[in-house]
Chains A and B, each alone.
Chain A
Amino acid sequence: MEAVKQITSIEELKNYIEKLRGRVSDNIIEELEKKLVEVYEKSGLYVEEVEAIIGEVLRRYESSLVEPGEPVGTVAAQSLGEPSTQMTLRVFHYAGVREFNVTLGLPRLIEIVDARKRPETPIMEIYLEDDYKHDEEKAKEVARRIESTLVENVAESISISPFEGVVIRLDPSMLEDKGVGIKDVVDVLEELKLGDIEVDEENYTIRIRLPEELMDYSKMEKIRQKVASARIKGVKGIKKVIIQKRGDEYVLIAEGSNLSEVMRVKGVDWRRVYTNDIMEVERTLGIEAARAAIIKEIKSILDDQGLDVDIRHIMLLADVMTWTGRVRQVGRMGVAGEKPSVLARAAFEMTVQRLIEAAASGEVDELSGIPENIIIGQIIPIGTGMVELYATPSTARPKGGEG
């Protein structure tokens, strides 16, 4: 009887596992190695066992690969579509972040897939640099730099009339809270160039005298708006910032989004700043970052709802959406609308219009996709239908040639 060989060292074990390299993905090799080393250290392993395990890993890996012709797009669409029917419909909750209203579930998913210009509720996650992230006071300091403070945030009242001009009564406690001085407010108001400014520091009152051309009742509301929304400090577009503790560091969560500006603020770890505004990620960080953001966002929506969808489906969706180098929607203006086939486009939406346009520009349909082949009743190019046979007819031999 053949002696049962035992594995004598971790090196030897690793050599066996190395045989899989290139045949399965590196992740699997790492995981397998970790587990086998663990078992080996605990109870030892026989060569035969290791070989059997490796064989099984390879067999399972190969059987789970996508086969040529598998309609991965359709599978991905169904795998994402079905769980979405189970998602909470129009529900907005306060997910973890008590202070904010966050769009979640189906509305948010639709928002991403439609590649909207702006999300309904833009949120940023702002991580801090090492010097700031462990100290709440310092985190607050950064938060104050980011949160935009408007004149209306520090004003008790803003009244306006053509003859009195604009009268702003400031709220001393708010000024202190936001770390703003009267002078800061005056500076901002001067930049608006509305008129002469009088300041009554004792009563916290600022008055802007309007010049004659502005003394018009129809312009009053506009001027009031302009004064109220003048930004004293902070980053444009960031309405509110709160501080959260995650693990051992403080993280700022901001309502509103302005990636490129926030990255430049002192104390912010720009390498990790994150926003849920995918178009903004595309603009500032590029298409590959947008792809990563789409995957991350969709994954987190599904996880929130307790739905388990294989990440490969989401990756495929993100790949298709970013294929052209721009984030495009999965709909009539994007993926479906840019299909090369006339019939496929006509089958999707606006049939008559699409057909007329195609006829007018003399388009040709190559009949290479699925919808168009279904329409005309041919075998669709999926799976075994992908295979075509080409026979090269043997050329007729010239009679009485070589013979």
Chain B
Amino acid sequence: MSEKKDINILEHVLVPKHEILSPEEAVEVLRKLGVSPKNLPWISVDDPAAKAIGAKPGDIIRIIRKSPTAGVSVAYRYVVVDVSRKEASVE
């Protein structure tokens, strides 16, 4: 019964705007923040939103969130190949 529907998760209310930075922009952002890419929060390449915008490992994604305190807030995430997929099973 599940018909074909065009679903673009980027339009879901929970998903803020994601955009890939061009290399020039990325350098500029890192310089402004004074950090190296790995100091930014990460996003995995197989993250559904990262996939949807076609991000590749090493890219920096700009995330424009609606914030209840600041109106609009901008965050950055560094696209990584997921290495931290540890299954939390140890008690």
Contacts and interface: CB of A to CB of B under 8 A. Distances in A.
Interface residues of A, number: 40
B42 A293 contact: no
15 contacts: A25-B70, A27-B69, A27-B71, A266-B3, A266-B5, A284-B48, A285-B14, A285-B49, A286-B48, A287-B49, A287-B77, A288-B15, A325-B82, A325-B84, A328-B84
B65 interface: yes
A285 B69 contact: no
A326 B80 CA distance: 11
Nearest to B90: A333
Contacts of A52: none
A277 B20 CA distance: 28
Contacts of B11: 271
B13 interface: yes
B70 A27 contact: yes
A33 interface: no
Given A25-B69, A274-B14, A292-B16, A286 B50 contact: yes
A257 interface: no
B10 to A, nearest CB: 9
B88 A329 contact: yes
Contacts of A285: 9, 12, 14-15, 48-49
A286 B88 CA distance: 19
Contacts of A315: 67, 69
Given A27-B71, A312-B69, A324-B84, A286 B47 contact: yes
B14 A281 contact: yes
Given A233-B1, A285-B14, A311-B68, A325 B47 contact: yes
B16 A288 contact: yes
A265 B1 contact: yes
A324 B42 contact: yes
Interface string A1-39: 000000000000000000000000111001000000000
A71 B77 CA distance: 23
A27 B65 CA distance: 13
B26 interface: no
Interface of B: 1-3, 5, 7, 9, 11-16, 18, 41-44, 47-50, 52, 63, 65, 67-72, 77, 80, 82, 84-86, 88, 90
A196 to B, nearest CB: 28
Nearest to A334: B88
The winner among B48, B67, B69, B70 for most chain A CB atoms within 10 A is: B48
A94 interface: no
Contacts of B5: 263-264, 266, 270
B91 to A, nearest CB: 9
Nearest to A268: B5
Interface string A301-333: 000000000011001000100111110110001
Contacts of B2: 261, 264-266
A281 B13 CA distance: 12
Nearest to A260: B7
Contacts of A26: 70-72
Contacts of B77: 287-288, 325
A350 B72 CA distance: 42
Interface string A227-266: 0000001000000000000000000000000000101111
Contact of A288 (B1, B63, B70, B72): B63
A270 B14 CA distance: 11
B89 to A, nearest CB: 9
Q: Which 6 A-B pairs have the closest CB atoms?
A: A286-B49, A289-B14, A325-B42, A26-B71, A27-B71, A325-B44
Contact of A325 (B41, B69, B90): B41
Contacts of A323: 41-42
Contacts of A261: 2
A159 B1 CA distance: 30
Contacts of B1: 145, 233, 265-266
Given A25-B71, A288-B65, A326 B82 contact: yes
A323 B13 CA distance: 21
Contacts of A233: 1
Given A27-B71, A281-B14, A285-B12, 16 more contacts: A26-B71, A26-B72, A27-B70, A264-B3, A271-B11, A272-B13, A274-B14, A283-B48, A284-B9, A284-B48, A285-B48, A288-B18, A325-B47, A328-B84, A333-B86, A334-B88
A239 B43 CA distance: 33
Contact of B71 (A30, A293, A334): A30
Nearest to A262: B2
